[in-house]
Amino acid sequence: MSITIQDIADLAKVSKGTVSRVINGAPGVGAETRKRILKLIEELDYQPNASAQSLASRRSYNIGVIIPHTGSYSMSTTYWPALLTAITEKAASQDYNVLLSTARSEQDVDSAYRSILKGKRVDGLIVGAEQFGEKQLAELLLKDFPFVMVGKSTTFSHYYVDVDNVGGARRMTEYLVSLGHRKITMLAGPEILPSVQSRVRGFQEAMTKAQLDPGRVVYTSYQTADAEKSTLQILKEDPPTALFVAAADLVLGVLEAARKLKIKIPDQLALVTFDDHPFYPYLSPSITAVKQPIYELGRAAVEMLFALMGKKETAKQKILPVEIIVRGSSQPDPPLVAQPLPTSG
């Protein structure tokens, strides 16, 4: 079949152990011998069998990524593709591969967990915190298995990376206030999600500080249809002058609702969102958004995970700053080019 370490050893007239040492760059091999073995490896294009390596060394050189996704829309969000790209590339730079699981249901999560983790297929795990089963998380913690959450969990205190949800929402709200808006409503995702809670908090902090009603928050699911329904309700019952859409997954529903009611943005309603998208500059009007550094988030997650895997020191959390990109949907006269907002005091 394939060429094995034994073949190399035989040809080099050394033992398997010596070849193994060369492969792993371990000491205890003479310069001459090392060179001879490396040459053979090169010539025969030998590549160690990964399973055998994992079995013997107890390291798989794989990291697992479990991405929960609910709505069908999540695929058109740039969030997880960008995250995944970042994770894969960063992992590859350390000679690690990525084992991917998407999970639609609690059951998916459980089976992904069983197959990936207990089978020792991965050395560490990156999980989208939001909907990952708590039972499994608890078990991970208990076993002291290295894992990093993307996004903060409400129930578990553990290593995680996240963007500054509170600060981003606060600053965006302050920006709306600075434009003169007094009736501002936030359309948020499911209340149980930590990211939603943070964004709501940022919103409410800013509203309270401006002595405005912090109670103007409507929670909805991440289904486009629900987002649309909720928006219709908001706009009919108690229309605000500005609507803060707290997640990318809600945007399509909101746009659909606005279209149905023939509401002019930004004239009749200012619209801002959390999470940017390459298409936002081209929507009509272009959309003001809180831009998350998703790619950096993915890199940070991998860095943190590698630190944990290597038992190295690392901060328990890393919060990345966000940026506010002002476009047409929040101002009367849309400029052609987006302007980053100067940092609020």
CB of 283 to a copy of itself, least distance (A): 6
116 binds, among DNA, a copy of itself, none (CB under 5 to 8 A by kind): a copy of itself
Q: Is 183 in the site for a copy of itself (CB under 8 A)?
A: no
- Interaction with DNA in 26-85: which residues (CB under 7 A)? 26-34, 48-49, 52-53, 55-57
Q: Is 24 in the site for DNA (CB under 7 A)?
A: yes
Binding DNA (rule: CB under 7 A), the pick from 23, 38, 82, 263 is: 23
* Residues 203, 216 contacting (CB under 8 angstroms): no
- Which residue bears the tokens 């409410």? 204
Nearer to DNA, 34 or 229 (CB): 34
Nearer to a copy of itself, 62 or 173 (CB): 62
Nearer to a copy of itself, 2 or 343 (CB): 2
Beta bridge partners of 134: none
What is the rounded distance in angstroms from the CA atom of residue 192 to the CA atom of residue 222?
12
Q: Return the DSSP state at 344.
A: P
What is the rounded distance in angstroms from the CA atom of residue 230 to the CA atom of residue 190?
12
**Residue 133 C-alpha from the chain's centroid:** 17
Distances (CA, A) of 241 to 111, 186, 232, 234, 337: 47, 11, 14, 11, 24
CA-wise closest residue to 200 among 232, 174, 165, 233? 165
Nearer to DNA, 24 or 154 (CB): 24
Q: Is 1 in the site for DNA (CB under 7 A)?
A: yes
For 110-135, b/e burial (b = at least 16 CB within 10 A) is eebbeebbeeeebbbbbbbbbbbbee
Q: Are strands 288-291 and 323-326 parallel, antiparallel or unpaired?
A: antiparallel
- Interaction with a copy of itself in 54-113: which residues (CB under 8 A)? 54-55, 60, 62, 69, 73, 75-76, 78, 80-82, 84-85, 88-89, 92, 95, 97-102, 104, 108, 111-112
> Which SS3 state, helix, strand or coil, does residue 64 take?
strand
282 binds, among DNA, a copy of itself, none (CB under 5 to 8 A by kind): a copy of itself
Nearer to a copy of itself, 209 or 259 (CB): 259
Nearer to a copy of itself, 169 or 271 (CB): 271
What residue type is 249 in one-letter code? D
Give the H/E segment covering residue 274.
Answer: strand 270-274
31 binds, among a copy of itself, DNA, none (CB under 5 to 8 A by kind): DNA
- Interaction with a copy of itself in 272-291: which residues (CB under 8 A)? 277-279, 282-284
Q: Where are the beta strands (DSSP E) in 57-128?
A: 62-68, 97-103, 124-128
* Residues 251, 245 contacting (CB under 8 angstroms): yes
CB of 109 to a copy of itself, least distance (A): 11
What is the rounded distance in angstroms from the CA atom of residue 147 to the CA atom of residue 156?
12
Q: Is 138 in the site for DNA (CB under 7 A)?
A: no
Q: What is the gyration radius of the CA atoms in the chain, in angstroms?
A: 25
Nearer to a copy of itself, 212 or 248 (CB): 248
Count the residues of the shown chain that bind a copy of itself, applying the rule CB under 8 A: 55
157 binds, among a copy of itself, DNA, none (CB under 5 to 8 A by kind): none
Q: Is 16 in the site for DNA (CB under 7 A)?
A: yes
**Contact residues: DNA, CB under 7 A:** 1-2, 4-6, 13-21, 23-24, 26-34, 48-49, 52-53, 55-57
Residues that bind a copy of itself (CB under 8 A): 2, 45, 47-55, 60, 62, 69, 73, 75-76, 78, 80-82, 84-85, 88-89, 92, 95, 97-102, 104, 108, 111-112, 114-116, 118-121, 252, 255-256, 259, 277-279, 282-284, 336
